[in-house]
């Protein structure tokens, strides 16, 4: 099991990440519960950064995806 640091100093692992048209939905398995985070995608007009494409990442082991999620929350 790959453990990652989740918000509020809890540990868990990303068990699923799905991309919709406007959101990224991430499911995190914690020690006692499952947490679902819904993160709105950045609009292309508002930012010069690349829009996140989660197909580039393995949701269970990606430290880069975790870092992006931590900054978005």
Taking only the tens place, the pLDDT of each residue in 16-59 is: 888 888 888 888 888 888 888 888 887 765 555 556 565 666 65
DSSP code string of 1-68: ---EEEGGGEEEEEEEEEE-SSEEEEEEEESS-EEEEEEEPPPTTT-SSPPP-GGGS-TTT-HHHHHH
Q: What is the pTM of this model?
A: 0.46
pLDDT confidence of 71, banded at 50, 70, 90?
Answer: low
Q: What pLDDT is stored for residue 63 in this prediction?
A: 65
């Amino acid at each position: 099991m790959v453990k990652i640091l989740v918000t509020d100093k809890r540990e868990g692992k990303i068990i699923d990440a799905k991309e919709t048209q406007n959101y990224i939905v991430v499911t995190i398995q914690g020690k006692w519960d499952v947490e679902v985070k819904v993160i709105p995608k950045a609009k292309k007009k508002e930012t010069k950064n690349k829009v996140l494409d989660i197909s580039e990442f393995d949701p269970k082991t990606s430290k880069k995806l975790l870092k992006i999620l931590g900054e978005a929350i």
